[in-house]
Amino acid sequence: MKQILCDTSALVALADADDPYAELAQEFLRDIPPGAVFIVPDTVFGEAMATIKRRLGAAAAVKVGQQLRKSERFRSYRLSDEDEGATWDVFCHYLDKEWSYVDCSLLALARRQKITAVFAFDHHFERMPGVTRVP
């Protein structure tokens, strides 16, 4: 089973039809092979809920959150203490980058879980070693 990390930018694009990447996100989701699973770390889930609530309102955020929690294709992932430590290490190591703490959590998780793909529209992932931004 192929695992793909999921960034906030992808979740927002899927939720917001007015997002500049909405159509591309939907196409990617349709074209991804069956059995592929999107891993949604708790850091991403929290950031996505806040962004969707700000853009589309609380009801939309709750609806998206419920859909994600029920989905078999999108799987929640709670960062362990070890994941948190690795995230902090990445955050402290790349001081010259404009990566958010959430971005760093994805890179740390990618390294620890040996996942190379990140479903994202955030250009920061193009500069992260060892990960490929998709689509």
User: Residue-wise pLDDT tens for the chain (135 aa)?
Assistant: 699 999 999 999 999 999 999 999 999 999 998 889 999 999 999 999 999 999 999 999 999 999 999 999 999 999 999 999 999 999 999 999 999 999 999 999 999 999 999 999 999 999 999 999 999
Where along the chain do its domains lie? 3-78+114-134
Beta bridge partners of 41: 77
Instruction: Pick the closest to residue 134 from 20, 27, 1, 18 (CA basis).
Output: 27
Give the predicted TM-score (pTM) of the model.
0.94
| Distance in angstroms (rounded) separating the CA atoms of residues 132 and 126 | 7
Question: In this structure, are residues 91 and 104 in contact, taking their beta carbons and an 8 Å threshold?
Answer: yes
- Tell me the CATH class for 3-78+114-134: alpha beta
As beta bridge partners, residue 83 has: none
